A and B are shown apart, each in its own frame.
Chain A
Amino acid sequence: MSTGYNFAYLDEQTKRMLRRAILKAVAIPGYQVPFGSREMPLPYGWGTGGIQVTAAVIGADDRLKVIDQGADDTTNAVSIRRFFARTAGVATTEKTREATVIQTRHRIPETPLSEGQIMVYQVPIPEPLRWLEPRETETRKMHALADYGAMHVKLYEDIARFGHIATTYDYPVLVGGRYLMRPSPIPKFDNPKMDNSPALQLFGAGREKRIYAVPPYTSVKSLDFEDHPFEVQRWDQACALCGSTESFLDEVVTDDQGGRMYVCSDSDYCGERRQEQGQ
């Protein structure tokens, strides 16, 4: 641990402000709470929102896992993990089961989450209605009045153009039957995992200065049409490494001759399965 930093980089007053925003967000599931986002030592778009939320909730006895696109070993994941190891001296892990705080970009781990765990999502654009309505005053009013019918226009447009709902990530959800929420750019494959999850889910958007949350055991419903129900992606292949047919697969190009393989995007899940098979 480096000296010269306050615990988890941010000063105590800032963390207090963040915790207030988080408490409010938990109290109103899916509602976007504004907060005073700080400059962080990494660029916007790399997880400044997530890192601030993590800094506010992490304690000395927490164990942190950071994933980027499901993997623990990519640049963003490694540097954020190291950031907290240095500034807070917390233990880190790559195992989903062992982690108490999981900061994530673009995925929810395949291993089911449990009570007491906190998921922290990095969010680029928190406003689900932005695509339809550029005015912030108007989108706030739409949230206040639960005036969400227009959101289906986007889904309608998908079906009209592609024959099915072609939105595959950042798929809009209704939280607790009340607030429309963007689940951050996770694949819609992960949307069902948010529904009634035993873990606390926190969302931080650093550039847009918004925090929102899904408390444990809250309903999270993906929007759909009666005759075009919500569906997740399916693959014809199994994971080339661990043989899983249930996980989210990444397509990896292996050579210039068109060779490619499908592997689990969740590196911890895949590794664990391979270890079990090896024994």
Chain B
Amino acid sequence: MATPLFSQQPRRGGAGHGGAAGGSIPGALIEFKAGRLFRDGQTNWVRPDPRRGVCFARKEDDGLLRFCWKERQASAVEEELIVFPGDVYLEKVQQSGGRVYVLKFTSSSQRMFFWLQEADSDGDRNLIYRVNTVLGDGTSGGDDDEEDEDDDEDDDEEANEERQASDRLPPLLQRRDSREAEVLSRHREQSALAHENPALDGGVQLSAQVGGVPGGGMRRRTQQRSGGDVEPMGGAGGRAGSFNSSQLGSLRQLLSSIRVPDDYRSAQQSEGEGPISLSDVLTPGNLRAVLDDQQLRGALFPTLPDEIPHTQQALDEVIRSPQFQQALDSLSYVLESGQMAPLVTQLGLEPSAGTSVHAFLAAIERQLHKEKASSARSANDGDTPME
């Protein structure tokens, strides 16, 4: 289920300034009608909350500026962030054709997403300008100045290509009225319902120890993802190399909304590299040396179901089982379909690893080499990049 990104916003002190706007909220410096969008679990995906809402900023008695959201008819405020003037600003998400805006923090990579529900979209730019004035944004041109390079202030590394990927919002956000959002939201509920079962949440833990997402090697992504139902956004999620069960659970939901573009095959065919199948790579013969290696076996056992004994013989059986073969076939298919990018980031791989079997394998190889290089670096304090 989608969860708010900012439920525990760190408190910041400071005094606000800015213009006022008339409205229904007492004491509000500015208010505007907007709904929220939530990041889906730990993924890079956002889902619209279909409810009619209102955003407003006001200063409380303690002198601190609050940025709030509530349902329009309700009195209870659902989100209340203490914001530090100059630290936050609202920016249009350029990749969306719709009226989607992101509240960004200059001091962190946290974001909060809104879709405007004001009747007249013509006033959006002016509105955002006024909001940003209230929030203490010093820029004078509203959002437009920053559209091309919007991630400068991110604290983490942003490979050029990755940003291109993250700068694309779901086509589902291109709708302009709440009815559409409601439909979409219903669809989301159904698919979540359909996938609420524990099979995937088997407590599987990957033991990858990876820090960041390596840059580079991202050439294949964009043309393959064009037909997707939903696109990932935001660069902040999925950095961890570990892969826990709740992440798997949200990945399941994530993937449930993925549709394979009909034209993926032709896109594939135009690639120079022909597709390969995981079942041709992970053959019992190819894996012999791995399975015979006691140390490597140790890393494999935790990935087996609990019911399977941790013996080499059982491992051999698993590798030869029809279930494993089917899994390889379907994984190959999904990888080649280019829809695995959000999932592979959970393995600490760059999103491009999800564009083909070849890219997936190469990314794991690169990742391991990087790990070795960095541990070698930390050992002898050298500086020898692997790529």
- Whether both chains belong to one complex is answered with no
Q: Which of A's residues lie within 8 Å of B, judged by CB?
A: none
